[in-house]
Chains A and B, each alone.
Chain A
Amino acid sequence: MATMTMAKALNAALADAMLDDERVLVFGEDVGQLGGVFRITDGLQARFGDKRCFDTPLAEAGIVGFAVGLAMSGLRPVVEMQFDAFAYPAFEQIASHVAKLRNRTRGALSVPMVIRVPYAGGIGGVEHHCDSSEAYYAHTPGLKVVTPATVDDAYSLLREAIDDPDPVVFMEPKKLYFAGAETALPTRTEPFGRAVVRRAGRDATLVAYGPAVPVALEAAEAARDEGWDLEVVDVRTIVPFDDATIAASVRRTGRCVVVQEAQGFAGVGAEIAARVQERCFHALHAPVLRVSGLDIPYPAPMLEHTHLPSVDRVLDAVARLQWDDQPDRRWLTEGSAA
């Protein structure tokens, strides 16, 4: 065991995948000699040569479209979108082709590829560098959408994404890149489609993914002081989604708060809350609540702390879970318009 950052684990996953499968090509903007602006591809070009890891013209639709063609020729492209919001030019390629080619051709063509997207905020980034764009991809059938919250998952999920027969949008929480943890690579964690209970608890379930997982875990620790024993479930793979693990947890605890960094309206957390209510209605002692980013464009760095879900906001939501079996007064007073 050694301490390693998520950035290093992702780098190791890419290197090991390139070593195991010579069809794997890594490319994008500044990923070659520089090793990527976050150094996730550090050293890959030196080690595997500039035919296996290379820079491209600065054009995201081109990068993803090029990957479509490479995948059609039998190769395994892994592309880096430099930042979340810089992937938007590629959205047509992703939504109209990457996601749909298998279905369009009844399985005759498939374009397995990994589109790596450093996403979300909390790093003091200026505009266009901090978007949580997972809902756009999760809403598009044909894509798998994966987001690690731990160092081990970063390695394992990326390896699985590269091996997967379907295209995977791999969302990397930037603020967790340089957080370290004890790990022994290579490691394999639970496969795609499995959520994981990160912390067992009896009183309520916090469901979170990506950058919100550490917030939920910290909130669960803090909640002990208030007398609440909270369970934390890490979604890990938004698509395919693990209804079973999450529903089982909520049925056990009877209460649920979904935590996500993205804006709340029509987000992944809304989907999770709806699914939990559909499956757990009779086990619930309180409405499923959401703690999310505000429904505003991502703020400038000096204001981002107001936007980001905080431990206090999570604890406030937990406090509103009708512990005294009384209706949430907030809905009684404000909800008359609804």
Chain B
Amino acid sequence: MTTTPQAARRASPRKRRPATPAAPDPAAGLLPETTPVRLLDPDGTLLPARADYPEPPVEALREMYRRMVVGRRFDAQATALTKQGRLAVYPSSRGQEACQIGGVLALRDDDWVFPTYRESMALTARGIDPVEVLTLLRGDWHCGYDPAQRRTAPQCTPLATQCVHAAGLAYGESYQGRDTVALVYIGDGATSEGDFHEGVNFAAVFKAPVVYFVQNNRYAISVPLSRQTAAPSLAYKGVGYGVPSEQVDGNDPVAVLAVLTRAVAHARAGKGPFLVEAHTYRMEPHTNADDATRYRDTDEVEAWRDRDPLARLETYLRGRGVLDDAAVAEIAEQAETYAADLRERMNTQPTVDPLSLFDHVYAEPTTQLVEQREQVRAELAAAAEEDA
């Protein structure tokens, strides 16, 4: 067998080129961890400490527990109020307490929150009067609190539109020399909306200090996450915008607070936006008017019941020796008092003034609105006369 020249060349040892140093991966530091960050096991056991996500101070966790208990009681009371006809509708966030409260605790009072309609619990945890929070759902106006004073945007009903507002507000604050951070609550379904893309992209391009906090509760009303995205998880959407991202076990209160604290610090340090995806679960239907049995089975719900964030934190804090039966009872009592007060105040019919419909369309009403106001005033006067 003769050796062909080609074969000889192939057999000869290749000349080694000097190795080019591998270019640094430009996406490094942007991608989330491959599994959600978890600091507390579902059974309440603390996992090994991590330098990148230090455990929040125990006092903060105890306060988180307190607000989660009160928040859950508020949530149950609000659902009950729908059955009594006191609320038109209520979207519960039961099961998402770690996210609801974590988002609030990670912020300063002068930071801004951009909530959706599902964030009633978070807003009450921010100290906003629950009657004012429920104004939208009670139906006496569209927003009951003063957003400028509470540094909390109106609860946003159109999906993801608040993502761009937050980018603008946060940029505007930093433009004027203030170190305000804006935190946006959105759900998994809303990440499919164009305004999510535009908001995160604007925030990234303008380095706006925004934390985009996606509560992935697996369902957009009935549509499962698999119909929203083919991404490995929603946190992977950040890299496409050049935004660092993380995913976290949304039912692990310690991890949620640790990850959000880091995200807020990142934003406040002037490094631009941060995207956090919390894997959680909506234990209740979309709203009281929804029937969740049409799209998810009981086994799935029950499995999530075992991952209850509140029980998890309570077990841990008891183990740490900062929570005992007496404290648990006292906090439960606080929650009952809070709910009783809400129940009582919601038990009256709110006063609404038809003439106020014209007051805030513009800073000054137009001639046409003045005329229409006069027409309604005359109608009301005539009706009152008829009643008399």
Measured CB to CB, the residues of A under 8 A from B are 51, 56-57, 59, 61-62, 64-75, 77, 89, 92-93, 96-97, 100-110, 141-142, 144, 165-166, 193, 239-244
Contact = CB atoms under 8 A, between A and B. Distances in A.
A93 B156 CA distance: 12
A64 B199 CA distance: 11
Contacts of B143: 104-106, 108
B148 interface: yes
Given A62-B199, A106-B359, A72 B161 contact: no
A73 B173 contact: yes
B158 A59 contact: no
Interface in B165-208: 165-173, 175-176, 182, 194-195, 198-199, 201-202, 205-206
Nearest to A108: B146
Contacts of B148: 72, 108-109
Interface in B348-363: 356, 359-363
B368 interface: yes
A72 B154 contact: no
Given A69-B182, A75-B176, A244-B367, 5 more contacts: A69-B167, A96-B158, A105-B142, A165-B362, A193-B366
Interface string B138-153: 0001110011110001
A252 B360 CA distance: 36
B142 A70 contact: no
Contacts of A51: 175
A72 B146 contact: no
B164 interface: yes
A97 B161 contact: yes
Contacts of A142: 361-362
Contacts of B356: 106
Nearest 5 A-B pairs (CB), nearest first?
A69-B168, A65-B164, A73-B172, A62-B198, A69-B169
B193 to A, nearest CB: 10
A144 B368 CA distance: 13
A66 B162 CA distance: 9
10 contacts: A57-B201, A61-B164, A62-B195, A71-B168, A72-B165, A73-B175, A75-B172, A97-B161, A102-B362, A105-B360
B171 A61 contact: no
Contacts, number: 150
Contact of B195 (A61, A73, A104, A109): A61
Given A70-B169, A74-B176, A93 B164 contact: yes
Given A70-B171, A107-B360, A57 B366 contact: no
Contacts of A109: 147-148, 154
A66 B161 contact: no
A21 to B, nearest CB: 14
B366 to A, nearest CB: 4
Contact of A92 (B161, B168, B360): B161
Nearest to A239: B366
A262 B146 CA distance: 40
A32 B63 CA distance: 49
A56 B171 CA distance: 13
B202 A56 contact: yes
A56 B167 CA distance: 12
Interface in B330-379: 356, 359-363, 366-368
A239 B169 CA distance: 28
Contact of B361 (A59, A75, A141): A141
Given A59-B201, A69-B165, A165-B363, A105 B172 contact: no
Contacts of A72: 147-148, 153, 165, 168-169, 172
Contacts of A100: 142
Contact of A69 (B142, B172, B198, B363): B172
Contact of A59 (B147, B202, B363): B202
B379 to A, nearest CB: 19
B167 A66 contact: yes
A62 B361 contact: no
A204 B171 CA distance: 53
Given A51-B175, A73-B169, A103-B142, A65 B362 contact: no
B171 A69 contact: yes
B154 A62 contact: no
A75 B175 contact: yes
Contacts of B170: 69
A237 B196 CA distance: 34
Contact of B202 (A57, A92, A93): A57
A102 B205 CA distance: 28
Nearest to B158: A96
